[in-house]
Amino acid sequence: MASVTAIEEQMYELVERMYPLCRSITGDGVRATLAIVGEYIPLDVHEVPTGTQVLDWTVPQEWNIRDAYIADASGRRVVDFAESSLHVLGYSVPVSATMPLSELRAHLHTLPDRPKWVPYRTSYYKPDWGFCLAQETLDALPDGEYQVRVDSTLEDGHLTYAEHVVPGQVPDEVIVSCHVCHPSLANDNLAGIAVATYLARALVKHTPYYTYRFIFAPGTIGAITWLARNKERVEHVKHGLVLACAGDRGDLTYKRSRRGDAEIDRVLRHVLSTSERPHQVKEFTPYGYDERQYCSPGFDLGVGSLTRTPYAGYPEYHTSADNLDFVSPEAMADTLAVCREAFAVLDRNRRYLNQSPYGEPQLGRRGLYDALGGRSDTKQAQMAMLWVLNLSDGEHSLLDVAERSGLPFDTVADAADALHGAGLVKA
DSSP string, 174-214: EEEEEE---SS-IIIIIIHHHHHHHHHHHHTTS--SSEEEE
State residue 80 phi and psi, 5-degree precision.
Answer: -135, 120
pLDDT over threshold 70, residue 178: yes
The 8 Å CB, 24+ separation contacts for 4-7 are: 4/329, 4/330, 4/333, 5/333, 7/198, 7/333, 7/336
State residue 7 phi and psi, 5-degree precision.
Answer: -70, -35
Alpha carbon distance 116, 149 (integer Å): 23
Strands 237-243 and 211-217: unpaired
Alpha carbon distance 343, 198 (integer Å): 14
Contact status, residue 257 vs residue 320, Cβ threshold 8 Å: no
Q: What CATH number does the domain located at 6-60+158-348 have?
A: 3.40.630.10
Start-end of CATH 1.10.10.10 domains in the chain: 351-426
pLDDT band at 121 (very low <50, low <70, confident <90, very high): very high
pLDDT over threshold 90, residue 376: no
Fold entry, domain 62-155: Glucose Oxidase; domain 1 (3.50.30)
Q: Is 217 left (phi over 0), alpha (psi -120 to 50) or beta?
A: beta
Type of residue at 130: G
Which helix (H) or strand (E) segment holds residue 9: the answer is: helix 6-18
Alpha carbon distance 344, 239 (integer Å): 13
Residues of the chain above pLDDT 90, percent: 93
pLDDT over threshold 90, residue 4: no
Nearest of 63, 40, 42 to residue 221 by alpha carbon: 63
- Mean pLDDT computed over 10-20: 98
- Return the DSSP state at 117: P
Nearest of 328, 245, 260, 344 to residue 290 by alpha carbon: 245
Alpha helices, H only, 205-296: 221-229, 263-275, 291-294
pLDDT band at 179 (very low <50, low <70, confident <90, very high): very high
So what's the pLDDT on residue 363? 86
- The number of beta carbons lying within 10 Å of the beta carbon of residue 185 is 25
Angle in degrees, CA 339, 341, 343, rounded to 5 = 65
Type of residue at 229: R
Alpha helices, H only, 64-127: 101-104
Type of residue at 171: P
pLDDT over threshold 50, residue 2: no
- Mean pLDDT computed over 349-355: 96
Task: Say whether domain 351-426 belongs to CATH 1.10.357.10.
Answer: no
The per-residue pLDDT for range 297-344, each reduced to its tens digit, is 999 999 999 999 998 999 999 999 999 999 999 999 999 999 999 999
Whole-number mean pLDDT of the chain?
95
pLDDT over threshold 90, residue 190: yes
Contact status, residue 164 vs residue 43, Cβ threshold 8 Å: yes
Distances (CA, A) of 45 to 60, 64, 129, 174, 216: 18, 18, 30, 19, 9
Distances (CA, A) of 136 to 106, 116, 130, 149: 17, 6, 17, 21
Alpha carbon distance 43, 177 (integer Å): 14
Start-end of CATH 3.40.630.10 domains in the chain: 6-60+158-348
Strands 279-282 and 351-354: unpaired
- Mean pLDDT computed over 121-130: 96
